[in-house]
Amino acid sequence: MAQSTETRSLAPRLGAWVEDGTSVRWRVWAPGHQQVEAVLYDADDRVLRTLPLTPEADGCFGGVLAGQGEGLRYKLRVDGADPFPDPWSRSQPAGVHGPSEVVVSDHGWTDSHWKGPDPKSLVIYEVHVGTATPEGTFEAFIPKLAHLRELGVNTLELLPVASFPGARNWGYDGVDLFAPQATYGGPKGLRRLIDAAHSHGIAVLIDAVYNHFGPDGNYLGAYSPHYFTKKHHTPWGDAVNYDGEGSHFVRSLVLSNVEMWIRDYHADGLRLDAAHALVDDGQPHLLAEIVERAHAAGNGRRVVVFAEDERNERKLVTPVKDGGYGLDGVWADDLHHQLRRAFAGDHEGYYQDYTGSAEDIATTLRQGWFYQGQKSKNLGHARGTSSEGLAPWHFVHCIQNHDQVGNRPFGNRLSEDVSPAAYRAMSTLLLLSPFTPMLFMGQEWNSRTPFLYFTDHNAELGRLVTEGRRKEFSGFSRFKGEQVPDPQDRDTFTRSTLDWAEVEGPQHAGVHALYKELLRLRATEPVLTNPRGTHDARALGPDAFVLERRAEGDTVLIIVNLRGSLVHALPSRASAGIVVWSESPRFGGTVEASPLTGNLVRLEGPCAAVVKLRE
């Protein structure tokens, strides 16, 4: 039976924190247990003493230790068993199996001027901290912020940074939601990165995983049987318990975490992982509460919340007052899939649901997503709802992201599967569309660095992950007979480290120049920046299409040719000029001559021409 709104009150504060600057207070939720103790450690992980905690209401245990503060390390012992880390820990300096550490939120912030991002004008740059630089830390990425600012990026999205097992992971195996990964630089490193980003005018989003928790280092079950439920199931097993007995504490785990990222770390919002797998039959739905808490935690700053969700469900971005969840935006992968089918020929798995035809790409551009209730061959049932009336900025589009690169067996970048000309054409469409564009790190110079799937689990779990990864791709015809890289091999991780030396290389400088020009145009061209502007898209025969952006009587056309030859006549009554030509030598192309002659646009092979019309 679903819980009512009245029973969904926020649980008391849990974890350990400094109180009045002179003592540390603990509160632990351990219903059904008789005894909880805090076991204190020194810096060398040697036990110093044990502090019994006192039973409190609702299955909690609490206690205070005077004369202690930030840096105190501890574990929790339940009913005399082995001590484990605190699942509400704010820091895990020795990893997810080591002692927890008490931290404070003081930083000496310099971003008091920062007002937060405009959700209607985001250009998102997705980063995996561990492979973005050779050092793989928050602070090592700070010098790269100037590159992003000059490129035209205004939002940095960090793949999950909550503590995960080992030193190498995508982050989706996190188990300590409140503790920034120690090998990345921990709490202090993350605060320094966000503070520096704001000084560059760049917002920071945290990728948060609330649909499941990782298996290694997950000690939630040692404290309470109510963190998970058999009532619902997900691809990762039993679902997190958001609507059953004891769920108000579990919901508090998430809602307190949401508030922490924004309040204590000054993050500008969240990207929610796989929201379709976040199961909650009660009211209000957890997603709506996440959005409410996130916006409120900004304390006057603008905060945004996006979700990855495969359902194409308009309710996600519909305001709460109209019966929705109120998210600011949603990842919409249909355009990515259509373009990969068109330019790279992908056709297995979910790609079988897409034709990549000019007509279907144009439909996707008109709607934001393609599936609006049609039956999916891959899923075997109908998928999607109408997007009519939804503003384009609610849809996050990409031509690469960590999933679409890293979930290929060899971590192939898009550049491995499409021609340089096709890459430039796809990039032009992405960055000049009315939708919110997202880049995956290195995309702006057409990086050739792979992004592989890597882990650093214990030997037994690691063996299972390796076997599962190779089995996953055994049924794909193009990968048969090839050995998928071992996720546990350190080389798999190091091969994924971004090579920033490529940026000015002869094969990359042109693409980098194209991205800078496109993002400059996106930010300054009146037709593209006008909030009252409209857009439309249509096929120009079987192998080409045009995206039209219109405002104040002017029109910008993004004409994309998939293959073959195109001759397209523009309206004779309008004056026309080329704004961007993807095959210009300055962008790495080989065609010096303009594709526009009079009112005719002539295109050959994969390419894109951006034309401005004036009536």
Max Cα–Cα distance, the chain, nearest Å: 86
Asked whether residue 7 is domain-assigned, the answer is: no
Asked whether residue 229 is domain-assigned, the answer is: no
Q: Do 287 and 435 belong together in one domain?
A: yes
403 is in an annotated binding site: yes
402 is in an annotated binding site: yes
- Position 480 scores a pLDDT of 55
Q: Do 342 and 430 belong together in one domain?
A: yes
Q: Do 463 and 499 belong together in one domain?
A: no
Q: Is residue 5 over pLDDT 50?
A: no
Q: Do 199 and 88 belong together in one domain?
A: no
Q: Do 407 and 371 belong together in one domain?
A: yes
10 is in an annotated binding site: no
Q: Do 419 and 471 belong together in one domain?
A: no
491 is in an annotated binding site: no
406 is in an annotated binding site: yes
- Distance, in Å, from the CA atom of 393 to the CA atom of 433, rounded to the nearest integer, reads 10
232 is in an annotated binding site: no
Residues 78-100 pLDDT 10s:
999 999 999 999 999 999 999 99
Lowest mean pLDDT among 89-98, 112-121, 230-239: 230-239
334 is in an annotated binding site: yes
Q: Do 499 and 480 belong together in one domain?
A: no
Q: Rounded mean pLDDT of 452-461?
A: 94
Q: Do 47 and 172 belong together in one domain?
A: no
Lowest mean pLDDT among 59-63, 139-143, 229-233: 229-233
Q: What are phi and psi of 489, to 5 degrees?
A: -70, 125
In which domain, by residue range, is 482 found?
A: 455-488
User: What percent of the chain clears pLDDT 90, i.e. is strictly above it?
Assistant: 90
- The amino acid sitting at 403 is D
Residues forming the active site: 273, 308
Q: What is the mean pLDDT of the chain?
A: 94
Q: Do 467 and 410 belong together in one domain?
A: no
Q: Rounded mean pLDDT of 570-583?
A: 90
Residue 477: pLDDT band with limits 50, 70, 90? low
Residue 207: pLDDT band with limits 50, 70, 90? very high
3-state percent helix, strand, coil for the chain, nearest multiple of 5: 30, 25, 45
Q: Do 130 and 204 belong together in one domain?
A: yes
Asked whether residue 141 is domain-assigned, the answer is: yes
In this structure, what CATH number is given to the domain that contains residue 60?
2.60.40.10
In this structure, what CATH number is given to the domain that contains residue 607?
2.60.40.1180
Q: Rounded mean pLDDT of 443-460?
A: 96
Q: Is residue 33 over pLDDT 80?
A: yes
Establish how many alpha carbons lie within 13 A of residue 130's alpha carbon, considering only the half-sphere containing its beta carbon. Answer: 30
281 is in an annotated binding site: no
- Distance, in Å, from the CA atom of 184 to the CA atom of 182, rounded to the nearest integer, reads 5
Crossing angle for the helix pair 420-432 and 334-343, nearest 10 degrees?
A: 160
Asked whether residue 267 is domain-assigned, the answer is: yes
Asked whether residue 168 is domain-assigned, the answer is: yes
Q: Is residue 1 over pLDDT 50?
A: no
407 is in an annotated binding site: yes
- Position 6 scores a pLDDT of 35
Q: Is residue 479 over pLDDT 80?
A: no
- Position 107 scores a pLDDT of 85
Q: Is residue 474 over pLDDT 70?
A: no
- Position 12 scores a pLDDT of 85
Q: Rounded mean pLDDT of 604-608?
A: 98
35 is in an annotated binding site: no
Q: Rounded mean pLDDT of 17-38?
A: 96
- Position 85 scores a pLDDT of 98
More confident of the two residues 105 and 299: 299
- Distance, in Å, from the CA atom of 344 to the CA atom of 4, rounded to the nearest integer, reads 49
Report the DSSP beta bridge partners of residue 544.
Answer: 561
- Position 573 scores a pLDDT of 73
- Distance, in Å, from the CA atom of 119 to the CA atom of 69, rounded to the nearest integer, reads 39
User: pTM for the complete prediction?
Assistant: 0.96
196 is in an annotated binding site: no
459 is in an annotated binding site: no
Q: Rounded mean pLDDT of 523-542?
A: 97
SS3 171: coil
Asked whether residue 251 is domain-assigned, the answer is: yes
Radius of gyration of the CA atoms of the chain, in A: 25
Number of C-beta neighbours around residue 67 at 10 A: 7
Q: Is residue 19 over pLDDT 70?
A: yes
Residues 135-178 pLDDT 10s:
999 999 999 999 999 999 999 999 999 999 999 999 999 999 99
φ/ψ region of 183 (left if φ > 0, alpha if ψ in -120 to 50, else beta) reads alpha
Residues 387-396 pLDDT 10s:
999 999 999 9
Residues 363-417 pLDDT 10s:
999 999 999 999 999 999 999 999 999 999 999 999 999 999 999 989 999 999 9
The DSSP secondary structure of 381-435, one letter per residue, reads EE-----TT--GGGEEE-S--HHHHHTSTT---GGGTS-HHHHHHHHHHHHHSSS
Q: Is residue 478 over pLDDT 70?
A: no
Residue in the block written with tokens 């379709």: 276
In this structure, what CATH number is given to the domain that contains residue 422?
3.20.20.80
Q: Do 303 and 351 belong together in one domain?
A: yes
Whether residue 446 contacts residue 508, with contact meaning beta carbons closer than 8 Å, is answered with yes
CA geometry: angle 424, 427, 431, nearest 5 deg:
140
Whether residue 437 contacts residue 430, with contact meaning beta carbons closer than 8 Å, is answered with yes
Whether residue 206 contacts residue 271, with contact meaning beta carbons closer than 8 Å, is answered with yes
Whether residue 40 contacts residue 72, with contact meaning beta carbons closer than 8 Å, is answered with yes
268 is in an annotated binding site: no
Asked whether residue 235 is domain-assigned, the answer is: no
- Position 236 scores a pLDDT of 80
- Position 482 scores a pLDDT of 63
Residues 282-315 pLDDT 10s:
999 999 999 999 999 999 999 999 999 999 999 9
More confident of the two residues 518 and 480: 518
Asked whether residue 318 is domain-assigned, the answer is: yes
Q: Do 543 and 581 belong together in one domain?
A: yes
- Position 109 scores a pLDDT of 96
Q: How many domains does the chain have?
A: 4
- Position 476 scores a pLDDT of 62
φ/ψ region of 500 (left if φ > 0, alpha if ψ in -120 to 50, else beta) reads alpha
Whether residue 222 contacts residue 81, with contact meaning beta carbons closer than 8 Å, is answered with yes
Residue 442: pLDDT band with limits 50, 70, 90? very high
